Amino acid sequence: MIGFVLRRLLQSILVMLTVALIAFGLFRYVGDPINNLVGQDTSAVEREQLREKLGLDDPFLVQFARFVKNAAKGDFGISYRHRRPVAELIVERLPATLELSIVAALIALLVGVPMGVYTGLHREGFLSRSFMTLSLVGVSLPTFLIGILLILLFGVVLRWLPTFGRGEVVALGWWTTGLLTVSGLKALIMPAITLALFQMTLIMRLVRAEMLEVLRTDYIKFARARGLSNRAIHFGHALKNTLVPVITITGLQLGSIIAFAIITESVFQWPGMGLLFIQAINEVDIPVMAAYLVMIALFFVVINLAVDLLYYLVDPRLRVDRDRATGHG
């Protein structure tokens, strides 16, 4: 078990190095940061001096090695645009993104699972059919469009919710939260739903498919023959057995929720890491881009690891199999 975790951690470092390498390979195609750092009247000589100072003249392998060396010491450099350490910027933006992502994931789970169970049990019902049709919209409409449509309806036409930003935030140490103020909660509703919609439909369809599968199996039939209540069968036996793939997908999707918050954040001007990254791309702020990509890779790696560990908890068979496979039988 410990060996497994260690091995996964080593692999994750490799993954992050690869991500950083590819990222650095791509930065040369993003544009030239210098023009965003100086005004139009700045002379060519000064521009060259700045380029040299920032080390942009070096070949990309040298730049990459420098980045890795500093990153290993926890130093991600200084943002060209904000003139502040990147690590500081990311820590400042982290709470906004995490709050949004976690609330979105909760919405996706808490709405998606019951909807999946319901549509699995009542396949032909009117409500099930409407859920299925709606879920098609959720899967096929791009996040960007859903966000804009929500803004138009609830922000512009009905004027119930704010169209952008995070509302009032309260600082708890270094963490800032919008969950404790009315304006913060109101501001969270639309972005969270926008971000949750795709995952929600995915979870719903997954749970539905798994439920249908499980309900056909013999042990459900035996359970019915034993005269167990529907409730016990559906939730005690059937749902529990659908959860392994649901956990995998939800876990993996949490990574993509955080990563794809970029789009939702830029539509709602949500001051999280995704927005920071988008602005960094526009301004060719290489240190911020590099740190963000590596961090997202880290998130994925950690989440994958957590999902693997959760398997052990949920499914006793896996515990046995893995131990036997690695020779600890």
Partner 1 sequence: MTWQLGRLAAAAVLALGVSATASAQTFRYAFQGDAQSLDPHGLNETFTLGFLGNVYEGLAAYDADLNLIPALAESWEVLSPTKWRFKLRRGVKFHNGNPFTADDVIFSWKRTLTEGSDQKVRGGLISDITKIDDYTIEVETPSPTPTLVRELVWLYIMDEEWAVANGATEAESPKSAETSGKFASLNANGTGPFVIESREPDVKTVFKRAPSYWKEIRSNVQEVVFTPVSQDATRVAALISGELDLAYPIPVQDWDRLEAADGVSPLTGPEARTIFLGMDQARDELLYSDIKGKNPFKDVRVRRAFAHAIDLEAIRKKVMRGASTPTGLMVAPQVNGFNPELNTPYAYDPELAKKLLAEAGYPDGFEVTMDCPNNRYVNDERICQAVAAMLAKVGIEVDVLAQPKSKYFAKVLAQNDYDTSFYLLGWTPGSMDAHNVLQNLLSCRNKETRAGLFNLGGYCNPRVDELTAQIAAETDPDRRQALIDEAFAIHKEEVGHIPLHQQPLSWGVRDGVTVAQRADNVLDFRNVVLP
- Interface residues with partner 1 (CB under 8 A) are 29-51, 53-54, 78, 80-84, 148, 151-152, 155-156, 159, 162-166, 266-269, 271, 275-276, 278-279, 282-284
Contact 91, 82 (CB under 8 A): no
In angstroms, the Cα distances linking 92 to 84, 175, 176, 295, 300 are 11, 8, 8, 14, 20
Q: How far is the CB of 185 from partner 1 (least distance, A)?
A: 17
CA atoms within 13 A on the CB side of 107: 21
Q: CB nearer to partner 1: give 17 or 148.
A: 148
Q: What angle do CA 41, 46, 48 make, to 5 degrees?
A: 120
Q: CB nearer to partner 1: give 203 or 276.
A: 276
Q: How far is the CB of 83 from partner 1 (least distance, A)?
A: 5
Q: How far is the CB of 273 from partner 1 (least distance, A)?
A: 12
Q: How far is the CB of 297 from partner 1 (least distance, A)?
A: 24
Q: CB nearer to partner 1: give 120 or 162.
A: 162
Contact 107, 193 (CB under 8 A): yes
Q: CB nearer to partner 1: give 32 or 321.
A: 32
Q: How far is the CB of 257 from partner 1 (least distance, A)?
A: 20
Q: CB nearer to partner 1: give 47 or 322.
A: 47
Contact 245, 206 (CB under 8 A): yes
Structure tokens at 143: 């996040």
Q: How far is the CB of 269 from partner 1 (least distance, A)?
A: 5
Q: Which amino acid is at 127?
A: L
Helix (H, G, I), strand (E, B) or coil at 269: coil
Structure tokens at 147: 């966000």
Q: CB nearer to partner 1: give 12 or 183.
A: 183
What DSSP string runs through 137-160? Answer: HHHHS-HHHHHHHHIIIIIIIS--
Contact 100, 195 (CB under 8 A): yes
How many whole angstroms from its chain centre is CA 179? 19
Those residues whose C-beta lies under 8 Å from the C-beta of residue 216, and which sit 6 or more positions away, are none
Those residues whose C-beta lies under 8 Å from the C-beta of residue 128, and which sit 6 or more positions away, are 118, 119, 122
Q: How far is the CB of 187 from partner 1 (least distance, A)?
A: 11
Q: How far is the CB of 270 from partner 1 (least distance, A)?
A: 10
Closest CA to 195 of 93, 267, 282, 116: 267
Structure tokens at 89: 């910027």
Q: CB nearer to partner 1: give 54 or 214.
A: 54
Structure-token match 């879920």, residue found: 135
Q: CB nearer to partner 1: give 29 or 126.
A: 29
Q: CB nearer to partner 1: give 143 or 201.
A: 143
Q: How far is the CB of 255 from partner 1 (least distance, A)?
A: 24
